[in-house]
Chains A and B, each alone.
Chain A
Amino acid sequence: MSTSSKSRRIVIEPVTRVEGHGKVTILLDDNGEVEQARLHIVEFRGFERFIQGRPYWELPVAVQRLCGICPVSHHLCAAKAVDWIVGGELLTRTAEKMRRLMHYGQIFQSHALHFFHLSSPDLLFGFDSPVENRHVFGVAAAFPELAKQGILMRKYGQEVIRLTSGKKVHGTGAIPGGINKNLSLPERDFLLEDLDRMKEWGRSAVKIAKDYTLENLSDIAGFGTFPSNHLSIVRADGAMDLYHGGLRAIDADGNRIFDHVDSRKYLDVLAEGVRSWSYMKFPYIKSIGPQDGWYRVGPLSRINTCDFIDTPEAEECRREFMELGGGGPVHVTMAYHWARMIELLHAIEKIAELLDDKDLQGEDLVVEGEPRNEGIAIIEAPRGTLFHHYRVGDDDLVEMANLIVSTTSNNEPMNRAVESVAKEYLSGQEITEGLLNHVEVAIRAYDPCLSCATHALGQMPLTVRLVSADGDVIDERTRN
């Protein structure tokens, strides 16, 4: 932590246990009260330019360079967009189910990692617990079986990814118009070996998250919480669908702002604003405008927006979860964890469903059609709605790329959560580690991915900048 009495800014850096690098700046007023808090995210927008000039068929592999945390989501979203470019958007049954299996593997492993290894210290030990406990190794010491389950659930999801995409990281399974492999019977049997154990652990994880939420509701109901719009894709019949669907947005009371909007029309309903102090964009719902049109995405929003979940155990959990909202959407920020575990259970139920489907052993893998110059796709990544939009020239080279990642959509909500928590817990008080962690806990609930893109030994590219109230940079430091 660093402070500057001149500017009265308190800077918390880095935000630990969040991907990549973030910086929180809290501006105090003359009375020592919190005036404003901002989450700064170091984001590499250069990627959209990086892929310009490359042939479109490279996109599903190239975009995985964007993020080492959820490369599968970028892989699949780019493939879906390129499907339109090659006129192959109507996939064969085998191709679509293989992609879905890959996607549910990604959801399962990502949610398991976040819950067991990033957030469980907050939940198991409390926000004010000593810093030496508030990490995965503290969990490992106090709850060794839980920590091990988290590792093995993550490993299982990675095996699903490996067998559907060819590799655990940066696979090549999804190709324009389809996939390049099916799932062999030995591969299926390998995944079936641990399936029951994964389902059992998934049920346990939901129970841990539910019990935590309900037992601590009086403390966490207002923690970083505020009413908001929510956005996700849903299936044509209103079911939760993490791979494909139309855009649905609801307001804070649950009223639909728009529904079943085709992915290719996303710019009709959404726009991206900018702020002078952040490199990240601030998306908003066009019909409401930039001031109030911001929205949340991710597990909480998906549970709020869908009408039902099409797997029985997760649906039962969803019904119980929605009781929190008293007939409307649930806005409790800390309920993201419970929602995330419901999705984890849904993912393993879908994996079980797919492994029992003989279409996965089909041989019809790729379709082609009339080529187009534009492809737009949306997928529900673990952290929320992900948009990929490409235009290609007649020479097949990418001319334009626009990506909206889920952390960008949650940009405004995270800032609001930080400010809310800072005002409640940091104003006029000594800044202890426990209090600082309250801010971090609020950010972690969103599972933001602040991809650092490079991580080499000896280098941690974190730049801290102190800016006075009148805009002067009074200090800057890069941590190596």
Chain B
Amino acid sequence: MPAGTALVIGYGNPGRKDDGLGPALAEAVVARGFAGVSVEQSYQLMVEDAARVAEHDLVVFADAHHTCEPPFLLTEVEPDPAPGFSTHSASPGAVLSLAREHFGATARAYVLGIRGYDLESFEEGLTDQARANLDQAIDFIGPFLEARGEHD
């Protein structure tokens, strides 16, 4: 059993094609039932996610990525107190910043951006390419969570 707890927040809009990659990854993590791993799904990150982040040692923000090299890009999150475009939705860095400032969070946090292609259509379901990228992201995230973020 690895030390500490982990949280996966998969966010995005499943009604906008590949924008649903984050929630799809969250569902896959739930289906695999990793010990000590909590999962949240949401449309977008919100300020109150800071309180949830502070309850864990490792946090993975899973989202669709519009421009990264496929299949996905893992990036460590730094606290970012800069104002975002809107605070009705918050960036991972902003959430981490609030978590540390107000709730004493010590979690390490990563963004798992999964390459998507169609994020505009009002349709549910992923494109075939995005589905393939998701499958590779799922293969990666299992061992990553099991190791609580220790990776090469």
A residues at B contact (CB < 8 Å): 14, 16-20, 44, 46-47, 50, 62, 65, 68-69, 71, 113, 117-118, 134-137, 140, 144, 147-148, 150-152, 154-155, 158, 167-170, 449, 453-461, 480
What residue in chain A is nearest B45 (Cβ atoms)?
Answer: A455
Judge whether B65 and A456 touch: CB under 8 Å.
Answer: yes
Residues of A contacting B19 with CB < 8 Å? Answer: 454-456
Residues of A contacting B85 with CB < 8 Å? Answer: 14, 16, 460
Whole-angstrom distance between the Cβ of B20 and the nearest chain A Cβ:
10
Binds A, one of B27-35, B114-122, B144-152: B114-122
Judge whether B83 and A135 touch: CB under 8 Å.
Answer: yes
14 A-B pairs besides A18-B86, A151-B47 with CB distance below 8 A are: A17-B87, A20-B86, A65-B13, A68-B89, A137-B101, A140-B81, A154-B48, A169-B42, A449-B88, A453-B16, A455-B19, A457-B64, A458-B67, A480-B67
Judge whether B102 and A455 touch: CB under 8 Å.
Answer: no
Residues of B contacting A71 with CB < 8 Å? Answer: 43
* Complex Cα spacing A461 to B19, Å: 13
Judge whether B51 and A457 touch: CB under 8 Å.
Answer: no
Known: A155-B48, A457-B111. A118 touches B41 (CB 8 A): no
Most A CB within 10 A of own CB, among B14, B113, B120: B120
* Complex Cα spacing A78 to B6, Å: 36
* Complex Cα spacing A167 to B26, Å: 14
Judge whether B122 and A118 touch: CB under 8 Å.
Answer: no
Known: A14-B85, A457-B66, A458-B66. A150 touches B43 (CB 8 A): no
* Complex Cα spacing A455 to B63, Å: 9
CB<8 Å pairs between A and B, sample of 10: A18-B86, A117-B47, A118-B87, A136-B83, A140-B81, A140-B98, A167-B41, A169-B42, A454-B16, A456-B66
* Complex Cα spacing A107 to B23, Å: 25
What residue in chain A is nearest B63 (Cβ atoms)?
Answer: A457
* Complex Cα spacing A457 to B13, Å: 13
Judge whether B12 and A113 touch: CB under 8 Å.
Answer: no
Judge whether A118 and B120 touch: CB under 8 Å.
Answer: no
Residues of A contacting B16 with CB < 8 Å? Answer: 65, 453-454
Most A CB within 10 A of own CB, among B16, B89, B102: B102
Judge whether A151 and B86 touch: CB under 8 Å.
Answer: no
- Candidates A113, A134, A148, A456; contact of B64 at CB < 8 Å: A456
B residues at A contact (CB < 8 Å): 12-16, 18-19, 41-44, 46-48, 50-51, 63-68, 81-83, 85-89, 94, 97-98, 101-102, 111, 113, 116, 119-120, 122
- Candidates A136, A152, A449; contact of B87 at CB < 8 Å: A136
Judge whether A458 and B65 touch: CB under 8 Å.
Answer: yes
Judge whether B122 and A137 touch: CB under 8 Å.
Answer: no
Judge whether A456 and B63 touch: CB under 8 Å.
Answer: yes
What residue in chain B is nearest A14 (Cβ atoms)?
Answer: B85
* Complex Cα spacing A454 to B89, Å: 11
- Candidates B48, B50, B65, B88; contact of A457 at CB < 8 Å: B65
* Complex Cα spacing A19 to B19, Å: 18
What residue in chain B is nearest A158 (Cβ atoms)?
Answer: B48
Judge whether B68 and A458 touch: CB under 8 Å.
Answer: yes
Judge whether A62 and B51 touch: CB under 8 Å.
Answer: no
Whole-angstrom distance between the Cβ of B69 and the nearest chain A Cβ:
11
* Complex Cα spacing A158 to B116, Å: 29
Judge whether A151 and B51 touch: CB under 8 Å.
Answer: yes
Judge whether A135 and B48 touch: CB under 8 Å.
Answer: no
Residues of B contacting A68 with CB < 8 Å? Answer: 13, 42-44, 89
Most A CB within 10 A of own CB, among B18, B47, B68: B47
Residues of B contacting A47 with CB < 8 Å? Answer: 122
* Complex Cα spacing A65 to B12, Å: 10
What residue in chain A is nearest B40 (Cβ atoms)?
Answer: A168
* Complex Cα spacing A49 to B119, Å: 18
Whole-angstrom distance between the Cβ of A310 and the nearest chain B Cβ:
29
Judge whether A113 and B116 touch: CB under 8 Å.
Answer: no
Judge whether A456 and B43 touch: CB under 8 Å.
Answer: no
* Complex Cα spacing A44 to B19, Å: 16
Whole-angstrom distance between the Cβ of A9 and the nearest chain B Cβ:
22
Known: A16-B83, A118-B87, A136-B83. A151 touches B48 (CB 8 A): yes
* Complex Cα spacing A150 to B98, Å: 12
What residue in chain B is nearest A134 (Cβ atoms)?
Answer: B83
Known: A169-B42, A456-B116. A17 touches B86 (CB 8 A): yes
Known: A65-B13, A65-B15, A118-B88. A459 touches B83 (CB 8 A): no
* Complex Cα spacing A62 to B42, Å: 15
